[in-house]
Structure 1
Amino acid sequence: MSIELTVTAKGQITLRQAVLDHLGIAPGDRVSVSLRPDGRAELRPLRAKPEVIASRGVLKRPGRRPVSIEEMQAAIEEGAAGDDA
């Protein structure tokens, strides 16, 4: 899909709603523009903070019990002790 935009006398462009919707950009959001060596520009939404809640459950394994913070720390310390040997 190709969308043509017009540059104003001030050197600005207005992105069409279809472009904003495709990128998930809302009023007040920020975007990042990367200038490519081949003369292209890449436009991406700039997310201020990653949404931690979106990663909830990503490490869940069916049939395995949750591991406590204390158990995680013990495993880290055991692993670190093994590196010195």
Structure 2
Amino acid sequence: MSAVVVTTKGQVTLRRDLLEQLGVRPGGKVTISKLPNGTIEIKAAQSTGKISDVFGFLKTKQKGKSLSINEMNDVIARGWSGKRR
């Protein structure tokens, strides 16, 4: 079990190892649920991205230049994870 300090603003900071276990990176989000027995549950927030968000990433700034398969796969992975450039 891990103890955290509550600030005067009511904020807490989770240790890095706990965030890593959740798969949460800097800038990431967590969801907190109140359970009926007086405890809370913390989970990594699910991405709310849509497949259509990926399509704008496939355009390049240089006209006529095509993306390689590896570049396309990278764009697709970022789109599904909710990350932007």
Q: Which TM-score tier does this pair reach, normalised by the shorter chain? A: 0.5 to 0.7
RMSD (Å) for aligned C-alpha atoms: 1.7
Pick the structure with greater CA Rg. Answer: 1
The unaligned stretches of length 5 or more in structure 1 are 53-85
Give the corresponding residue for 1:30: 29
Give the corresponding residue for 2:44: 45
Q: Could you tell me how far apart the structure 2 residues matched to 1:49 and 1:37 are?
A: 27
4+ runs deviating over 3 angstroms: none
Query: What amino acid does structure 2 have at the position aligned with 1:30?
Result: K
The unaligned stretches of length 5 or more in structure 2 are 52-85
Any idea what SS the aligned residue of 1:29 has?
Answer: coil
TM (norm. structure 1) is 0.54
Identical amino acids, percent of aligned pairs: 36
1:49 to partner: Cα distance: 4.4
Q: Could you tell me how far apart the structure 2 residues matched to 1:22 and 1:48 are?
A: 17
Q: Could you tell me how far apart the structure 2 residues matched to 1:16 and 1:30 are?
A: 14
Aligned length, in residue pairs: 50
Give the corresponding residue for 2:4: 5
1:30 to partner: Cα distance: 1.1
Q: Could you tell me how far apart the structure 2 residues matched to 1:33 and 1:22 are?
A: 16
Highest RCO, 1 vs 2 (Cα 8 Å, sep ≥ 6): 2
Q: Could you tell me how far apart the structure 1 residues matched to 2:48 and 2:7 are?
A: 32
